[in-house]
Amino acid sequence: MQHTENEAHRLDAADPGHRHLFHVPPAEGGRYPEVAYLAGNSLGLQPRATRDELLADLDAWRRLGVEGHVEAERPWLPYHELLTAPAARLVGALPAETVVMNSLTVNLHLLMVSFYRPAGERTRIVIEDSAFPSDSYAVRSQARFHGLDPDATVVRLKPRPGEDTLRTSDVLDFLAAEGHTVALVLLGGVNYLTGELMDIPAITAAGRAAGAVVGWDLAHAAGNVPLALHDWDVDFAAWCSYKYLNSGPGALAGVFVHERHLGDPRLPRFEGWWSTEAATRFEMTPVSRPPATVEAWQISNPPIFAMGPVRTSLELFDSVGMPALRERSLRLTGWLERLLDEVTVGRPLTVVTPRDPARRGCQLSVRIGVSARSEPGLRAPQSRTEWSMVGSANELTKRLRHEHGVIADAREPDIVRFAPVPLYSTYHDCWRVADALAAAVEVDR
């Protein structure tokens, strides 16, 4: 390759990141002791600090039993409050607008209980055609819950024929033309498949101007790109913490509800004892007194041992800062893009993520196949030659892992996603991706 391994090492020396704060798994294949981990968009690596912090919480339970609710070093009753301010800083929200609880799809449902209110001709829910399936199932089941036909209710916005990603203008044009029928716009801030970063402020403004509620699934955006949810006037948002937030598999998720909705007695909401204000919670009254904060959306007392990893991770984001991470992310992903440009030439591989750095986070998605996307759905390799040279996305990622120690992640049939994560990925990891692809995929002659 034109870009050499030494060049990667030089870049790493000049721009080292924070890899030393993480556990990087050993490699099972290839010639390097550690994996090149490019799957932080799926599951982030474990911060070194997490284990001790988690053990300290576990010790409090061993020593104190039930008294830990008030006497633990980090008392359990208000434990979730420790996560609120750093989570709010991460997504550009006020603390009153932010809470960490449950998991992502559960939170989307709880938010739709409040914010999906179909009425009259305004019943539709707008998602992207390549929405993560859980979101698609969630909105379809919400439509059914309201007695509506999901096929007629859920609008799936598709890229133009021959294009891989949505144009902002197409979303805006749709909302201008048909917004009067839309009750809810619920899009992914960064699309899980293509890595496209949507224009959150422009789409939010257009959706709200059309009279719809606008919510965002930020699973692939939180900790990946800078966010300003409050200033962008987003109605609500939810995100998970196991991808870029490195809080472990199935980690607790985050929720944002804009200040203008807080304390609104007209909003329906499902409640439990954690929805009532903390000061009178133990008066055990039959009727709740929800606070005028997003904590009113909480239901159960939170799992403390699941909160520790989120707290530890958010401290890390606070200490490094999103602006610095975004800067490094742009450098690292730009470098991976240059390497992929070199290695995809002549091979049946195409980067489908937008080339404009402002329209993406750190993830670059590579499609196995050479021509543009055709409808409906993603195009699978069309010729026998393409399949035999590369295999499916799963087959290719297995080869990358076992023969080269490169961990990427596959979305069948034909997308392989590579995410150089600015906290811990290196320029050398990116170089290993390109080197492994060059070896694993024959040049098309």
Is residue 269 within the footprint of ligand PLP (CB under 6 A)? Answer: no
Give 135 or 337: the residue with its C-beta nearer to ligand PLP: 135
Chain position carrying tokens 């721009």: 15
Provide, rounded to whole angstroms, the least separation between the CB of residue 240 and ligand PLP: 4
Is residue 417 within the footprint of ligand PLP (CB under 6 A)? Answer: no
CA gap 195, 189 in Å, rounded: 9
Provide, rounded to whole angstroms, the least separation between the CB of residue 106 and ligand PLP: 7
Give 288 or 394: the residue with its C-beta nearer to ligand PLP: 394
Is residue 135 within the footprint of ligand PLP (CB under 6 A)? Answer: yes
Q: Site residues for ligand PLP, window 159-198 (CB under 6 A)?
A: 188, 192
Distance of CA 163 to the CA centre of its chain: 23
* Segment lying near ligand PLP (by CB under 6 A), choices 150-158, 212-220, 292-300, 364-372: 212-220
Give 224 or 425: the residue with its C-beta nearer to ligand PLP: 224
Give 42 or 426: the residue with its C-beta nearer to ligand PLP: 42
CA gap 216, 195 in Å, rounded: 15
Burial class (CB in 10 A: 0-12, 13-18, 19+), 94: middle
Provide, rounded to whole angstroms, the least separation between the CB of residue 378 and ligand PLP: 16
Q: Site residues for ligand PLP, window 75-114 (CB under 6 A)?
A: 103-105
* Segment lying near ligand PLP (by CB under 6 A), choices 14-22, 130-138, 193-201, 265-273: 130-138
Provide, rounded to whole angstroms, the least separation between the CB of residue 220 and ligand PLP: 6
Give 220 or 261: the residue with its C-beta nearer to ligand PLP: 220
Is residue 134 within the footprint of ligand PLP (CB under 6 A)? Answer: yes
Figure out which of the listed residues 132, 216, 335, 418 binds ligand PLP, where binding follows CB under 6 A. Answer: 132
Size of the site for ligand PLP (CB under 6 A): 12
Distance of CA 365 to the CA centre of its chain: 15
Q: Which two tokens stand for residue 276?
A: 């009532």
Provide, rounded to whole angstroms, the least separation between the CB of residue 241 and ligand PLP: 9
The residue sitting closest to ligand PLP, measured at its beta carbon, is 105
Provide, rounded to whole angstroms, the least separation between the CB of residue 130 and ligand PLP: 10
* Segment lying near ligand PLP (by CB under 6 A), choices 49-57, 216-224, 388-396, 400-408: 216-224
Provide, rounded to whole angstroms, the least separation between the CB of residue 200 and ligand PLP: 14
Figure out which of the listed residues 220, 230, 401, 428 binds ligand PLP, where binding follows CB under 6 A. Answer: 220
Give 141 or 280: the residue with its C-beta nearer to ligand PLP: 141
**3-class SS letters over the chain:** CCCCHHHHHHHHHHCCCCHHHECCCECCCCCCCECEECECCCCCCCEHHHHHHHHHHHHHHHHHHHHHHHHCCCCCCCCCHHHHHHHHHHHCCCHHHEEEECCHHHHHHHHHHHHCCCECCECEEEEECCCCHHHHHHHHHHHHHCCCCHHHHEEEECCCCCCCCCCHHHHHHHHHHHHHHEEEEEEECECCCCCEECCHHHHHHHHHHCCCEEEEECCCCCCCCCCCCCCCCCCEEEECCCCCCCCCCCCCEEEEECHHHCCCCCCCCCCCHHHCCHHHHHHCCCCCCCCCCHHHHCCCCCCHHHHHHHHHHHHHHHHHCHHHHHHHHHHHHHHHHHHHHHHHCCCCEEECCCCCHHHECCCEEEEECCCCCCCCCCCCCCCHHHHHHHCCHHHHHHHHHHHHCEECEEECCCEEEEECCCCCCCHHHHHHHHHHHHHHCCCCC
Give 105 or 363: the residue with its C-beta nearer to ligand PLP: 105
Is residue 127 within the footprint of ligand PLP (CB under 6 A)? Answer: no
Write each residue from 231 to 250 as x if it is in contact with ligand PLP (CB under 6 A), else as -, in one continuous string: ---------x----------
Figure out which of the listed residues 219, 227, 245, 437 binds ligand PLP, where binding follows CB under 6 A. Answer: 219
Q: Which two tokens stand for residue 311?
A: 């707290």
Provide, rounded to whole angstroms, the least separation between the CB of residue 134 and ligand PLP: 4
Binding positions for ligand PLP, rule: CB under 6 A:
103-105, 132, 134-135, 188, 192, 217, 219-220, 240
